Amino acid sequence: MATTNAPAVLVEGLHKRYGDKRAVDGLDLRVEHGEIVAVLGPNGAGKTTTVETLEGFRRADAGHVRVLGEDPARGDRAWRARLGVVLQDNQDLAEVTVAEIVRHVAGFYPAPRDPETVIEEVGLREKRSARVRALSGGQRRRLDVALGIVGDPELLFLDEPTTGFDPQARHAFWDLVEGLRDEGTTILLTTHYLEEAERLADRVVVVAHGRVLADGAPADLGGRQARRARVRWTVDGVGHEEATDTPTALVARLAAQVGHPDGEVPGLQVLRPTLEDVYLGLIGEAAADVATDDTPEETAR
């Protein structure tokens, strides 16, 4: 059992290779109890390998890893009962019904949530008697989520959980995740949906090439420079743009200098970077750095 002051997840210098490929290259990660942390990154960034190492499905080549105070590679049944896992591609029994499989999985845990309530929460009440093979892709994904949360986990891993959800189902799922966090569940989420990360996460960790590029609250990610507003305006038909930390002051100055008699500034736009803008900027910089660092021999491989 983790001590009170220990984080729910602590990763220091994690390395994992597959042959010549460095999937994870010195990654550091910390998740406090009660947090929702979203891990973002392009395909091949090392997200899934990292999460599978934390879940105990893969062994690290090097580094210090602790999950709920234990080394995942040596986690016992009692430790696993404290985790909930929603995998990207979950294999299931096609001939059983939704209710049967949820009740069956609930039986593995010492104090599970009520299976019928869980089925309702993931939006499968009308499919509770349907066989798994008859579910649509989105419905199967909802079942994966049900199986991940029915054990009432202390720490929940969500790997691309809303893939295949329609917008209404996705928003309902977000409400469910926020409810779990309010009840004290710690959640580590990987997702390709920037809106999902912005809505749910207390912190966002951006990963590329097996390393952490940035770590912070969604509103602060990337630092002050990445969060500067851009002000656009026109003078005599010529467009101008300036990045600034004080857009209100700049607009006031423009109104005095180039504004019409009514105070309007021609073509005025004030643009603040979204989480997507910051994320794409970080990924683009990382790709450029890797291209610069590669020798001709490495690039050829």
Q: Kindly report, residue by residue over 187-202, the tens digit of the pLDDT.
A: 999 998 899 999 999 9
Within 10 angstroms of residue 77's Cβ, the number of other Cβ atoms is 7
Residue 98's pLDDT is 95
Q: Does domain 9-216 have CATH number 3.40.50.300?
A: yes
Taking only the tens place, the pLDDT of each residue in 87-111 is 766 565 778 999 999 999 999 999 9
Quote the tokens at residue 257: 């200098």
Predicted confidence (pLDDT) at residue 135 exceeds the cutoff of 80: yes
Mean pLDDT, the chain, rounded, equals 87
Predicted confidence (pLDDT) at residue 8 exceeds the cutoff of 90: yes
User: Among 3-7, 63-67, 69-73, 159-163, which stretch is predicted with the lowest mean pLDDT?
Assistant: 3-7
Domain with CATH 3.40.50.300 in the chain: 9-216
Residue 92's pLDDT is 59
Q: In terms of pTM, does the model score above 0.85?
A: no
Strand arrangement, sheet containing 155-159: 83-86, 155-159, 186-190, 36-40, 203-208, 211-216
